[in-house]
Amino acid sequence: MKKVKAKVLKYMISERRRAKIKIIINEVPLSKNIYVNMHWAKRKEYKELTGWKIMIATSEIESSCFKKATVTFDIYFKDKRRRDVSNYLGGGLIAWLDVLVNQNIIADDSYDVIGQPIVNFYIDKANPRTEILITERK
């Protein structure tokens, strides 16, 4: 199994504490083209495996469920191939957001709770990964 790690960060804004959780998964999510064309049983297996990875990463974090949050996915690919952001948001990241809800990290993955998730692409040939930053918001 690949190494998984998580960090909890806190900072001050206007003398009010806002919690942040940064989860680092050492893989990139599946694109929509791959995820949607998977057999339903394989999609279920992918979602369960992702759930275990996020559960392991967040097992040491004592945090309550974010009622309102901003979710940012920083995806680090190993190459410079052209990619479409919407293919990732409509693909494997759907499963990842569902896992965050199931793990009680965010209250829901609806627009009212998380707004539009932010997806950023970067290149890191030596260490492809996905960093999920969840920040509390009003």
CATH assignment of the domain containing 83: 3.30.1330.70
Domain span including residue 111:
4-136
How much of the chain exceeds pLDDT 70, in percent?
84
Mean pLDDT of 53-80: 86
pLDDT tens-digit series, residues 20-65: 889 999 989 988 889 889 999 999 998 889 888 888 887 776 666 8
pLDDT tens-digit series, residues 100-114: 998 888 999 999 999
**What is the rounded distance in angstroms from the CA atom of residue 63 to the CA atom of residue 124?**
30
Q: What is the DSSP letter of 14?
A: T
Q: Total domain count for the chain?
A: 1
Q: Rounded to two decimals, what is the model's pTM?
A: 0.81
Write the single-letter amino acid at 136.
E
**What is the rounded distance in angstroms from the CA atom of residue 38 to the CA atom of residue 45?**
10
